Amino acid sequence: MQVKICNATVTCLDQLGYAETTFAEVQAKAGISRGAITHHFPTKQALVAATAMRLLGNAQNPLWPHDRAPQPVYDLIMSAWANIVNSAGGRAIVEILVACRTDPALFGMLEQSLRDWDKSNLSLISARYVSATGNRDDTELLWSIARNFLRGLLLHEKFVSSPEYLMQMMDRFARMMESQLQVLPKNDVEEVE
Amino acid sequence: MQVKICNATVTCLDQLGYAETTFAEVQAKAGISRGAITHHFPTKQALVAATAMRLLGNAQNPLWPHDRAPQPVYDLIMSAWANIVNSAGGRAIVEILVACRTDPALFGMLEQSLRDWDKSNLSLISARYVSATGNRDDTELLWSIARNFLRGLLLHEKFVSSPEYLMQMMDRFARMMESQLQVLPKNDVEEVE
DNA sequence: GTTTACAGACCAACTGTTCTGTTTTTATGA
DNA sequence: TCATAAAAACAGAACAGTTGGTCTGTAAAC
């Protein structure tokens, strides 16, 4: 049930935005009663926060499975855009991030979790890629930059002159990152908790 | 009067977000009557769209005056962050961009203007900087990337582990851009309409 | 005198939350 | 195993507060 509610919330956030994501709308989209939602999530912030946590859990990189070699930098960036950031879940996350900026209650619920996710996500990726400088902090900086660029691109998407131009931006950015990062050779991988 | 109303709207967008930017709130912040707002801007979308246009007009680069030499790439990126993107107006613009994604009425009012602004802004900057490849399209791509990164950074700002880390990201990104772009020598500048 | 600029009341629609019921599951004890 | 009590899961009505938009009234400008 909670899964069903959160999924409907993601759809609402994506299609309607944070403000228009109302209990009534989620209820209709999920095909359940009002009481079911308020029982599990007493406030709107609790509903959205729970949805965010679920999204982050799912997005904890389905992109590089443990048992296969890491993707090339270029491919990873491209598929991160297509499969994560520019997906219903990715767009929902951006709605939530924006809402956090001006909704103190929501921010309080998510601040620590988002910080932790950020750290663990960077740890995970830094274990498989390395900056041309060999510096681990630099690797994390570069991937942080990539994530922020992709999120920013989401805001620009509807105003881009053509879909091809957006792809050119992606390509140019990915090539630039490619020149700064490389896949770690397998024997150099040190497992991170 | 319209200026006063729009300024109050910017403050509201920045501090409260798009959803909480209500007529009542703008009215209170501007210290005027309800009728004054609805007279000039019959709908909320009209109010926000007018505010956006005004913001874009103001942001049409106060950063590189016509009578002085262009700033170095690094400096331009740094001051664009501090003075444009991460300002009340910049944050308001991001709120509006996000709202446009799910508010068709607002999107319709701003789509063309934002596209035009984008184009003219890139034209202006491409007249003063050039990609290492010498390709003008590449120059525009790079500056588009920069703008989207800065906007994305705005969403991340409240979740960054420390202000210093954010500055490290800025520094790293600016250095990366610096390696791809250079200021055009003065005699090469071709004026663009 | 006609249009524009402002003032402020008014209203229907909607929102988040609370609440009272009803059903289902779970825990308990003999 | 099974009765039964307690708790959790759901359903849906009710409500106070707010919102965007409209409407009438007044003053000023052209």
Within-domain flag for B63: no
- What pLDDT shows up at residue B63? 64
Within-domain flag for B193: no
CA distance A148 to B59: 22
CA distance A52 to A95: 10
Summarize the confidence of residues A137-158 as an average pLDDT.
96
Summarize the confidence of residues B28-48 as an average pLDDT.
94
Q: Tell me the pLDDT band of A68, cut-offs 50, 70 and 90.
A: confident
Q: Answer yes or no: is pLDDT of B49 > 90.
A: yes
Test A176 with B176 for CB contact under 8 angstroms.
yes
Q: Tell me the pLDDT band of A189, cut-offs 50, 70 and 90.
A: very low
Q: What is the pLDDT of residues A2-59, one digit of tens each?
A: 899 999 999 999 999 999 999 999 999 999 999 999 999 999 999 999 999 999 988 7
Number of domains in chain A: 1
- What pLDDT shows up at residue A187? 56
Between chain A and chain B, how many beta carbons pairs sit less than 8 Å apart? 124
- What pLDDT shows up at residue A191? 46
Strand-pair partners of B131: B181
Within-domain flag for A87: yes
CA distance A29 to A45: 18
Q: Answer yes or no: is pLDDT of A188 > 60.
A: no
Q: Tell me the pLDDT band of B1, cut-offs 50, 70 and 90.
A: confident
Q: Tell me the pLDDT band of A65, cut-offs 50, 70 and 90.
A: low
Which of the nucleotides in strand D have any atom less than 7 Å away from a protein CB atom?
A: 9-14, 18-25
Could you give the angle at the alpha carbon of B161 between the alpha carbons of A124 and A113, nearest 5°? 65
Q: Is A161 on the interface with B (CB under 8 A)?
A: yes
Test A149 with B147 for CB contact under 8 angstroms.
no
Of A17, A142, A147, the CB nearest to B172: A142
Which residue did the predictor score with more confidence, B67 or B165? B165
- What pLDDT shows up at residue B189? 46
Q: Answer yes or no: is pLDDT of A91 > 60.
A: yes
Within-domain flag for B64: no
Q: What does strand C contact on the protein, if contact means CB under 7 A?
A: A 20-25, 34-35, 38, 42-45; B 1-2, 32-36, 38-40
Q: What is the pLDDT of residues B55-76, one digit of tens each?
A: 998 877 666 666 677 899 999 9
Within-domain flag for B17: yes
- What pLDDT shows up at residue B192? 43
Which domain does B135 fall in, by range? 2-58+69-188
Judging contacts by C-beta atoms under 8 Å, the chain A residues touching residue B84 are: none
Test B17 with A138 for CB contact under 8 angstroms.
no
Chain A: give the shortest CA distance to residue B160, in Å: 7
Of B98, B102, B149, the CB nearest to A15: B102
The Cβ of residue B66 has, within 10 Å, a number of other Cβ atoms equal to 7
Tokens of A166: 């957006």
Summarize the confidence of residues A172-176 as an average pLDDT.
97
Q: Is B167 on the interface with A (CB under 8 A)?
A: no
Within-domain flag for B99: yes
Q: What is the CATH number of the domain that holds B157?
A: 1.10.357.10
Cβ atoms of B57 and A138 closer than 8 Å: no
Mean pLDDT across chain A, nearest whole number?
Answer: 91
Q: Answer yes or no: is pLDDT of B163 > 70.
A: yes
- What pLDDT shows up at residue B61? 64
- What pLDDT shows up at residue B65? 61
- What pLDDT shows up at residue A70? 84
Contacts of B133 (CB under 8 A, 6+ apart): none
Length of chain A: 193
Buried-exposed string B3-39: b where 16+ CB fall within 10 A, e elsewhere: eebbbbbbbbbbbbbbeebeeebbbebbeeeeebbee
Residues 59-88 of B with CB under 8 A from A: none
Q: What are phi and psi of A33, to 5 degrees?
A: -95, 165
Q: Is A174 on the interface with B (CB under 8 A)?
A: no
Q: Is A19 on the interface with B (CB under 8 A)?
A: yes
Mean pLDDT across chain B, nearest whole number?
Answer: 91
Within-domain flag for A193: no
Interface test with A, best of B109, B161, B172 (most A CBs within 10 A): B172
Q: Is B145 on the interface with A (CB under 8 A)?
A: yes
